[in-house]
């Protein structure tokens, strides 16, 4: 190493923040005279085919320079930012692809920070944990991350897009969560993804499960993953020396918009902030979404092997019970009148006629709303009911099983109820209490033992604090404890009945358009080998499904499928459909587990729906277990899970139009060396790409099937 100029720490850090060419490329940190470290600190370089990360640790900072090598894009250049000040760091482990630093603050926090750059991987990753070494709890609004000084031209041609919700679930305005770097740095973000309110709420920071930034040819995915706590990938700004602004990304953050708002670490305990990852991807935004999907699948949040969920017929839509005024659905006399065994046999006959594979029983089957106790008096023994459905109609049985956030708690013992801060019993169950969880899991076990094969975890909403010291939670309880208890219920069922499928609503917002908790949180196999929930509720699009296609509320389903293969579940009202079965095809294309109900008054619509279901049953593996690709929002490709074939769904919500599609087999996972034939469109081959031409009816749908020639 050549002789280097002597710099004090202040000059060095200032030069990192302000210099045009980073000193990290030229020199190592030179410690001040009173430093207790060795007289020389080495420069540590982690390098792969895609990235080069240069690190230096000193008394006051970890200096970082990160560059994407093929494109020359600079992504970080300066001291790593810590919201609680700059700890003193030492290197505790290092190899060719990993460096771990350990540091401490004057306030008693111990930080372990690991950077990882695998040689053959398109991503880099960092992990951070903090330990409270004091004798008292520590509360921190925690934020840290790489910093990129922003100058003229910095990432100026990149657009940052939220993943998976480019379209938010309450957005009827046909707007997109696409942002320039200037917007991220200097504008607040408006959104209603986490708040069911209009107008949208204003947020200081930009947070999402991931961010895909691309200029159309080169892209970077910023993602955050933590299986033990709710976290987001946050983009924000930080002031630097001499008036510069820095983009801060990666690292960790407990955002103030979270329901808990801060991180509380008990004395002597530690908290892990999971992993932040930066992934290179070539191409446009869609490729960034696919990169996110690949990451989630690698972490266990994709399709289970052999996924083949039964098509549901939901008796709710034709049953008058739920639509009675004054909460009439929970009155015993009304349940006896509208929800008898004969009523359910009639619905089962409709299910069979519509090619369904299971009868889904919505509110009405239990002793009272949300009791999760089968009403033997009206419906007979649950095992006998399941046997009748199978023998007489060829159907499985699925149940609506709402939890503590939405039920009639009369069937639960008083010990399960919430307690307010005055010690008074409240009129709702505490979802985080050991008593409630134990009793609810016992009731679900009885149903599973009786042969039920699907539970919908509706009623997951967080209702607020509980102050009961006998419940086994903190006093008061936290939202996080409610979330984790809700997820634990799914695992308690799966521990004994792994074959029973469980759908999970948002564990904070329940049955609403809001998506508060990261979608993967609570899914997948835990440390003991037990699975969490199986499917995700498709954002409460069950009531006006055709209207929601037109007004844009259903468009998040398209982007979800680009970003996740973790299955969505939804049931929709067939009475909303049109003569082209547009609605039914849309939700068949975007929800791997499909349900529906309701009898349309127009016989032509019923004929179209039946024809659709006959076709859907024939090609169901493409939708339930295939790979989803997007040509555009209205053109979806589903590749078969095992065969070299695909189907294309084309939708049109306007007047009749002639459509042309460019179809490159390799882009959709098909063997480019094979020739293909197309049913449903005129096809011509040019330069390895097929040009497909078809006529789309007004407010209609067309199906194209792709097989080897």
Q: What residue numbers bound the domain in which 398 lies?
A: 318-619
Q: What is the sign of the dihedral through the CA atoms of 471, 475, 476 and 480?
A: negative
Helices (H), 400-544: 434-449, 479-496
Q: At which residue do the structure tokens 């850090």 appear?
A: 13
Please check whether residue 579 lies inside any domain of the structure. Answer: yes
Per residue in 559-571, pLDDT (tens digit) is 999 999 999 999 9
Distance CA 61, CA 618 (A): 61
Same domain, 607 and 700: no
Would you say residue 303 lies in a domain?
A: no
Do 276 and 184 lie in a common domain?
yes
Phi and psi, residue 262, nearest 5°: -155, 170
Q: Let me know: does 5 contact 26? Beta carbons within 8 Å.
A: no
pLDDT confidence of residue 28: 36
Position 477 in a domain: yes
In this structure, are 269 and 393 located in the same domain? Answer: no
> Pick from 237, 263, 298: which residue ends a domain?
298
Assign 635 to helix, strand or coil. Answer: strand
Distance between CA atoms of 709 and 233, rounded to whole angstroms? 45
Pair 148, 277 in one domain: yes
Task: Give the three-class secondary structure for 442.
Answer: helix
| Alpha-carbon span 221 to 161, nearest angstrom | 9
Neighbouring C-beta atoms of residue 261, cutoff 10 Å: 13
Residues of the chain with pLDDT under 50: 1-39
- Return the pLDDT at 257: 55
Coil vs helix vs strand at 463: coil
β-strand partners of 163:
210
Cα dist from 173 to 208, 282, 574, whole Å: 20, 30, 25
List the CATH number of the domain containing 72: 2.70.98
Q: Indicate if 294 and 343 belong to the same structural domain.
A: no
Query: Considering the domain boundaries, does residue 150 fall inside one?
Result: yes
In a domain, 304, yes or no: no
Q: What is the pLDDT of residue 260?
A: 64
Note if the pTM is more than 0.75: yes
How far is 81 from 131, CA to CA, in rounded Å?
Answer: 18
Report if residue 634 sits inside a domain.
no
Number of domains in the chain: 3
Neighbours of 136 (CB within 10 A): 8
Residues 265 and 294 in one domain: yes
The domain boundary, picked from 298, 326, 348, lies at: 298
Q: Are residues 390 and 292 part of one domain?
A: no
pLDDT of residue 40: 55
Q: Do 272 and 324 lie in a common domain?
A: no
Distance CA 483, CA 228 (A): 11
The domain boundary, picked from 263, 298, 333, lies at: 298
Same domain? For 214 and 354 the reply is no
Residues 366 and 278 in one domain: no
In a domain, 526, yes or no: yes
**Strands in 183-269 per DSSP E:** 189-191, 201-203, 206-208, 210-214, 218-225, 233-239, 245-253, 263-265
Q: Is residue 1 part of a domain?
A: no
Distances (CA, A) of 418 to 260, 279, 401, 426, 482: 19, 44, 20, 5, 12
- In this structure, the answer to whether residues 67 and 188 fall within a common structural domain is yes
* CA trace torsion 674, 679, 681, 685 (10° rounding): 20
Pair 515, 591 in one domain? yes
Give the C-alpha separation, 585 to 651, whole Å.
9
């Amino acid at each position: 190493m050549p002789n280097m100029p002597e710099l004090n720490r202040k000059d060095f850090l200032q030069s990192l923040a302000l210099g045009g060419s980073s000193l990290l490329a030229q020199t190592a940190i030179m410690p001040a005279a009173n430093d207790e470290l060795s007289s020389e600190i080495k420069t540590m370089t982690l390098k792969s085919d895609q990235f080069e990360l240069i690190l230096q640790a000193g008394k006051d900072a970890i200096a970082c320079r990160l560059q994407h090598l093929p494109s020359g894009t600079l992504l970080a250049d300066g001291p790593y930012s810590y919201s609680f000040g700059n700890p003193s760091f030492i290197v505790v482990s290092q190899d060719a692809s990993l460096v771990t630093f350990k540091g401490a603050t004057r306030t008693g926090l111990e930080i372990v920070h690991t950077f990882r750059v695998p040689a053959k991987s398109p991503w880099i990753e960092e992990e951070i944990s903090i330990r409270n070494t004091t004798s008292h709890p520590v509360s921190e609004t925690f934020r840290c991350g790489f910093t990129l000084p922003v100058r003229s031209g910095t990432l100026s041609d990149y657009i940052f897009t939220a993943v998976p919700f480019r379209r938010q679930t309450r957005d009827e305005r046909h707007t997109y969560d696409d942002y320039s770097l200037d917007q991220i740095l200097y504008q607040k973000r408006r959104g209603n993804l986490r708040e069911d309110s209009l107008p949208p709420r204003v947020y200081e920071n930009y947070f999402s499960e991931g961010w895909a930034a691309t200029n159309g040819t080169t892209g970077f995915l910023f993602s955050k993953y933590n299986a033990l706590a709710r976290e987001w990938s946050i983009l924000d700004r930080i002031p630097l020396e001499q008036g510069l602004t820095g983009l801060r990304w990666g690292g960790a953050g407990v955002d103030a918009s979270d329901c808990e708002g801060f991180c509380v670490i008990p004395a002597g305990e530690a908290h892990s902030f999971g992993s932040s990852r930066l992934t290179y991807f070539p191409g446009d935004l869609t490729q960034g979404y696919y990169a996110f999907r690949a990451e989630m699948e690698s972490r266990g949040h994709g399709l289970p092997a052999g996924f083949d969920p039964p098509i549901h017929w939901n008796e709710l839509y034709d049953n008058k019970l739920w639509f009675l005024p004054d909460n009439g659905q929970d009155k015993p006399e009304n349940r006896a009148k509208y929800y008898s065994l004969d009523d359910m046999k009639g619905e089962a006959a409709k299910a069979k006629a519509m090619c369904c594979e299971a009868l889904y029983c919505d509110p009405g089957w239990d002793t009272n709303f949300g009791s999760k106790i089968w009403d033997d008096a009206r419906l007979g023994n649950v095992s006998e009911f399941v046997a009748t459905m199978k023998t007489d109609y060829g159907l499985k049985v699925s149940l609506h099983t709402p939890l503590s956030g939405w039920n009639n708690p009369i069937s639960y013992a008083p010990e399960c109820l919430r307690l307010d801060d005055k010690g008074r019993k409240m009129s709702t169950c505490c979802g985080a209490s050991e008593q409630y969880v134990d009793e609810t899991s016992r009731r679900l076990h009885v149903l599973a033992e009786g042969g039920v094969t699907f539970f919908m975890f509706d009623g997951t909403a967080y209702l607020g604090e509980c102050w009961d010291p006998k419940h086994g939670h903190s006093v008061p309880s936290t939202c996080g404890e409610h979330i984790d208890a809700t997820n634990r219920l799914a695992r308690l069922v799966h521990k004994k009945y792994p074959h029973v499928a469980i759908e999970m609503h948002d564990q904070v917002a329940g049955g609403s358009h809001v998506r508060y908790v990261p979608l993967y949180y609570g899914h997948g196999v835990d440390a003991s080998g037990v699975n969490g929930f199986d499917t995700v509720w498709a954002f409460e699009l069950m009531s006006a499904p055709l209207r929601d296609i037109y007004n844009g509320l259903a468009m998040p389903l398209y982007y979800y499928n680009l970003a996740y293969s973790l299955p969505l579940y939804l049931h929709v009202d067939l009475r909303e459909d049109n003569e082209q079965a547009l609605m039914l095809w849309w939700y068949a294309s975007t929800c791997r587990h499909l349900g529906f109900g309701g009898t349309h008054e127009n016989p032509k619509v019923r004929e179209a729906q039946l024809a659709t279901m006959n076709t859907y049953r024939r090609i169901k593996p493409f939708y339930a277990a295939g790979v989803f690709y997007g040509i555009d929002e209205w053109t979806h490709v589903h590749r078969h899970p095992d065969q070299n074939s695909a189907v294309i769904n084309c939708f049109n919500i306007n007047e009749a139009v002639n459509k042309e599609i460019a179809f490159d087999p390799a882009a959709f996972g098909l063997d480019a060396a094979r020739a293909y034939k197309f049913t449903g469109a005129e096809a011509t081959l040019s330069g390895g790409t097929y040009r497909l031409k078809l006529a789309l009816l007004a407010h209609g749908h067309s199906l194209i099937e792709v097989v080897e020639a």
